[in-house]
Amino acid sequence: MRTPAGIFMSDDQKQTYCKPALSLDAQIDLLISRGLEIPDRDKARHYLRYIGYYRLSGYYLTFQQKTPEANHHTFKKGVTFGDILDIYIMDRELRLLVMDAIERIEVAFRACLSNVMSEKHGPHWYMDQAHFVPLCRHGELLERIKRETLHDSMTNEKDRTRRERFIQHYYKTYCHPELPPGWMVFELLSLGTLSQVYAHLISRNMQKEICRPFGINHLVMTSWMHTLTYLRNLCAHHLRLWNRRFSIMPVVKSGCEKQLAINHTLYAQVAMLHILMSVIADGSKWQRRLSEVIAGHPKADLRIMGFPPDWQQDSFWRLS
C-alpha cells in the first residue's frame, strides 16, 4: 500500500493506531509544549471546542519548523494561537467569497446551456441520446437527472412535497414526455451534472455557442467547469483553500498565462473566477472584495497561495 508520503508499506509493516483522545486542556498543553504561545487559555479552549483541534491542525503547518534537527510539530518562535486563528478566519472568508462567485457562474452557465440547446433542439433535447457522444452513458445520465429532480417521489405523497412547485405542476398537468422540459430540469441539476452534460455534447458547434457569451474557448470551458465543480465541493464541505495544492486545475486560457501558469494554486483558481465574473457580474466588484479579504489579514503569507507580491498592481485585476 502506498502511504501519503508515496512509500509502499505492506500490511505487516503497518501499526495499530493507539493515540488517545485528549481533553481540551490536554490539547492546549500539547500545543504549548510544541512552542505555540497561548496567552489566553479560555479563548483557545473556546475555539478548540467549536472548531476542533484536527481542523485547525491544517493551519499549523506553515507555522512549524522544517529544519532537519527540529521536531516537525515544533512551532517557530513567536507564533501565537491568534496567528493560526487569523489564517483560519481568512480561509473561511475566502471560501464564502469563492462560493459567491461560483453561484453566479453556475446560474449563468446553466442558463446559457439550457437556452442554446432548447432553442436549437426543443424542450426535451436532453432525453435524446443523439445529442451526446457515444462515451456518454445516456441511460445513467437520465437516471441521475431523475434522482436530482426527485422524479421517483411522484409515487409517494410525503416525498412529493419535497419537489419544487414547478416540477410538481408539470407532473400534475402533463403525462408525456416522462420528464419536464430542460429549462425546468436544469434549474435543479448539480454543477457536476451540468459539467458532464456539457462535456459530453456531441456537437462542438453547440459547445462553442454555449460558451460564446463568456468569451472562452469551448475546450477551456470544459476544463473550467470541471475545475469549478471540484472547487465548489471543497467549499461546500468547508475544506481548506489556504496552502492547498489543487489536484484539479484549470487549463491556461490564452492571454492569461501569467495568472494561470502555476495552476495548482489558489491564485490560479481565483483568477479563473475573476475572468468569468468580469463577464457575468462585473458590477459586483468581486476582485475588490477579494483584495479586501486579503488586506484584512496582513500577516498571511500570500506566496503559500501562489499570489505574486505585486498581484494588485497587475492590470488584470482592475482594482482601482
Which residues are 8's β-sheet partners? 2
Quick one: which of 249, 139, 143, 138 has its CA closest to 202? 138
Alpha carbon 105 to its chain centroid, in Å, reads 12
In this prediction the pTM is: 0.89
Q: Please, are residues 116 and 206 in contact by the beta-carbon 8 Å criterion? A: yes
Rounded CA separation 297/208 (Å): 41
Rounded CA separation 162/156 (Å): 10
Other residues' Cβ atoms within 10 Å of the Cβ of residue 132: 19
> Coil, strand or helix: which one is 75?
strand
CA-to-CA separations, 83 to 43, 52, 235, 267, 298, in angstroms, rounded: 13, 16, 22, 22, 11
Which grid cell sits at 149? 429532480
How would you write the pLDDT of the chain (320 residues) with one tens digit per residue? 455 555 566 767 788 887 888 999 999 999 999 999 999 999 999 999 999 999 999 999 889 987 766 677 899 999 999 999 999 999 999 999 999 999 999 999 999 999 999 999 999 999 999 999 998 999 999 998 888 888 776 555 555 566 788 888 888 888 899 889 999 999 999 999 999 999 999 999 999 999 999 999 999 999 999 999 999 999 999 999 999 999 999 999 999 999 999 999 999 999 999 999 999 998 889 999 999 999 999 989 999 999 999 999 999 998 75
DSSP-assigned letters across all residues of 133-186? -TTS-HHHHHHHHHHHTTGGGGG-HHHHTTS-HHHHHHHHH--SSSS--HHHHT
Rounded CA separation 34/28 (Å): 10
